[in-house]
A and B are shown apart, each in its own frame.
Chain A
Amino acid sequence: MSVLSTVLPGLPADTDFTFSERPTFVGPGERLSYRLAMVVASLGECSGKRSSYGRLALLSFAARSLKLRAILTRVARRIANPTDVAVRFDPFLPRVLDIAVATGLINYLDPGPRFALASSGESLRAVIISEDLFATERVFFASVADSLTEQAIRRIVSGVDF
């Protein structure tokens, strides 16, 4: 008490203090729900609604900002080099994919790591499309998803020009 009185003079000695945790601001890119929606949306634009882990990682990374989307679009159109894109490792992606598999949105395919859209995922995608949500990201996914070869994706992700 004495310490409080010192810090806040005039504060009544019998004042009760309640401390509650304030909710943390989490941006859309760091939100689990957004990331799941992006996994479903991106897989839905991939050929056979299937994708390698690398392709998924690249697409979900690029979905975060306009600038990344623009560069990747140019690489997909062979206007820019794959090495022009700096892709950071996303530590949350494995967890997001785990939860997506767990919730039945996608399926893990062997030999992995490869994923395919599951029926729940299909339902969610149908809602997204019907409500015209995340239109920007979907246009992006549609334009680049099949244009990037696996080799190009490896070069981008590894940062090495094989």
Chain B
Amino acid sequence: MSLRFRRLRIRVTTSDGIFGVEIPFVDGLNVIRADNTSGKSTCFQAILYALGLDAMLTARQHQLPLTPVLTDNVFDEASESELRVQSTELWLEVEGGGQEVATFYRPVVGLGDHRLITVYESHLADDMSTKPGRQMFVRIPGAATGEHGFHRWFAKDFLKWELPQVERNDGRSSQLYLETIFPLFFVEQRFGWTRIQGNMPYVFGIRDVARRAAEYVLGLSISETQLQRVALGAQLRELQGRYSAIAKSMQALAGTSGSLVRGVPDSMPGDDLAANILIPQDGKWLQLPERQSFLRGLIQTIGHEMKERRRAASSQILGAQHRRAELLQTITERQQILRTEAQERLALGRRRDDLIEQLRKLTDLRSLARMGGRAGGDVFGLHCPTCWQPVADSASPGIKNVLSLDDTISFVDSEQALLQATLAQVDARSRALTAELQQLERELNVVDASIETSHASSDDDGLVVQTTQYVEYRHQLQSLDRLAGELSARVDEANALIRESVKLRTAMSLLPVGLSQEDEVKLKDLEETFRSQEREYGFKSFAIDELSISRETYKPTVHDFELSFETSASDGIRTIWSYLFGLLELRRGNQSMHHIGSLIFDEPRQQSTAEFSFGQLLRHASLATVFGDQAIFFTSDEAEAIRAELMGSTYNMVEFAGRMIRRL
């Protein structure tokens, strides 16, 4: 819990020998006296550098925050010349609260990486190269938290501090860095005396960093509350972030289907989401379930219509096919009849031709018979020339009674007429049959066409349109179902986050607000010792009774206004002394504080402070011996004056005549 400085060693190697200094420190007051510009600030800075607290000296990460004597040239008093620095090394021996000793080695230039600090768990010896040491790094990310980070080791393992998580300006949280705490223990000359925590680095982006550091050093319980608040806030922000991502994804999801999500605010609401999805339809916005049910109805209707259409088409086809079979059979029958008729007609025609032929022959024969008497004698009288018996006009001798030529002609004629009539009938019947066949074939064509149409109707334009619509609407419905499912899952997820955040908010609201009684006592004590010291050092700007410690910033205030240093520079210095020693002394009765028990001031008197006041400070600081604290003052005040002021007090004075960094 405490840190005592035991010894600082600086070694500067030049082309012409080794230069350096070694300063021992004891418990109680240490006064390191040297003239101005002789290297006090170099040594002060070297201590901070050895602790890896460079950030307190410069905001520039890659710049060495050290004076040129350690980096460039060292002045050789003997030759009165500047010598080129080849390498510079620092050693700092410290002691922890349990008397554990550690020596830190850090090169400056010329010897390895200056971001490496070697930690030896031993006293600073003349030759450290034989000691076992561990190398750790500083000034690069992870130095405060990484396994090989020097500050992680230094805070956790050496100082036994659990550094708190604090809120950053960007809303995230990070660890409170050592660099932000040590300005309450170290006051550097250039910026340290302008205000309390004058060497505070702001590069870490920690919100209210000075206040957080003071809270931690004071060990206020509010800092615990604050920690919890920060942790809860971080969780809340994480939830909010996740919620926002979900909300955005819901909007995006809805956007892909041309719909809108309502009831999903960008920032997390206090209650469960009442999300609904709006889908455009005919210039109106429908709720998702309305649209789904509309689509379902549409799909059902179209599906039914399509089924009906197909059924009608198929029954039409069946009927037509039946009719077609009937027609084909009838046509076959009729064609058969027609063929028979044609054959019959042919036969009848032949017979008629034959009759006509016979008629011609008979007619000619009759003419010949009539002429026969005149020309051919008895040729057609037909008597046997031998017996003179009449001979029948038949080639066959068996027929005796032959029908007369006239009767035969009229018989053949009538038969031919009858045949002609029959032929006319046959022709009429054939014509009727042919006409019927043509009619049947026409009907067959119509039926065939209707079958074709019915078949085609299963892919006619109407059905194609309906099928397309059907598929389209089903696709839409499936998309909407998916959308609804996904959105519902996201709403559930969002609601889980909302409920979780409500719990966190409740927990946050239950955190105690303001200072605890213990904190109040602590601050009251700080206020008392602060006032008492201000009085002691001769503070005059305001009445001492008007001074108090702010319960907000934990800094000195007058009538709730922060004490401004502009009115009186010397009162400003006094205030810093009073406040920092106040903190140091408050530690004595408070184990809950995180104070190293040491104060290191570079040129604490400053020119504007009266000798009287500084004497008071020296005497006050010398009391540290009594309480086991440590105060280290680098000063250029006259040695005699110091000794006079500290007459009767215990202190350690290390005096340097001339330059502190000198040839060894």
Q: Which residues of A contact B (CB under 8 A)?
A: 21-37, 65-66, 92, 95-96, 99, 102-105, 120, 123-124, 126-128, 131, 133-134, 136
* CB pair A23 B376 closer than 8 Å: no
Annotate B383-415 by CB proximity to A: 1 below 8 A, 0 otherwise.
011100001111111010111100110011000
CB closest residue in chain A, given B411: A25
B379 interface contact, C-beta 8 A: yes
**Partner of B379 from A22, A120, A134 at Cβ < 8 Å:** A120
Some 15 contacts from A to B, beta carbons below 8 A apart, are: A23-B403, A23-B407, A26-B402, A26-B408, A28-B365, A29-B395, A33-B365, A37-B368, A103-B385, A124-B368, A124-B376, A127-B368, A127-B376, A131-B368, A136-B360
Give the distance to chain A from B266, nearest Cβ to Cβ, in Å.
112
Pick out which of these stretches binds chain A: B63-71, B169-177, B350-358. B350-358
Interface size band for B: 35 or more
* CB pair A124 B379 closer than 8 Å: yes
In the complex, chain B residues 352-373 whose Cβ is within 8 Å of any chain A Cβ: 353-354, 357-358, 360-362, 364-365, 367-369, 371-372
User: Which residues of A have CB within 8 Å of B407?
Assistant: 23
* CB pair B365 A37 closer than 8 Å: yes
**Partner of A25 from B374, B375, B403 at Cβ < 8 Å:** B403
- Taken together as a complex, chains A and B put the C-alpha atoms of A156 and B403 apart, in Å, by 35
Question: What total count of A-B pairs have CB within 8 Å?
Answer: 106
Give the distance to chain B from A25, nearest Cβ to Cβ, in Å.
5
Supposing A23-B403, A33-B393, A66-B353 touch, asked if A124 and B369 sit within 8 A by C-beta, the answer is no
* CB pair B368 A30 closer than 8 Å: no
Q: Which residues of B contact A (CB under 8 A)?
A: 353-354, 357-358, 360-362, 364-365, 367-369, 371-372, 374-380, 382, 384-386, 391-397, 399, 401-404, 407-408, 411-412
**Partner of B401 from A23, A33, A36, A95 at Cβ < 8 Å:** A23
- Taken together as a complex, chains A and B put the C-alpha atoms of A31 and B424 apart, in Å, by 31
* CB pair B394 A32 closer than 8 Å: yes
* CB pair A28 B379 closer than 8 Å: no
User: Which residues of B have CB within 8 Å of A32?
Assistant: 382, 391-395
- Taken together as a complex, chains A and B put the C-alpha atoms of A124 and B369 apart, in Å, by 10
User: Which residues of B have CB within 8 Å of A127?
Assistant: 368, 371-372, 374-376
* CB pair A30 B394 closer than 8 Å: yes
- Taken together as a complex, chains A and B put the C-alpha atoms of A108 and B368 apart, in Å, by 24
Give the distance to chain A from B150, nearest Cβ to Cβ, in Å.
136
- Taken together as a complex, chains A and B put the C-alpha atoms of A84 and B338 apart, in Å, by 32
CB closest residue in chain B, given A101: B385
Supposing A34-B365, A124-B376, A133-B368 touch, asked if A102 and B358 sit within 8 A by C-beta, the answer is no
CB closest residue in chain A, given B359: A28
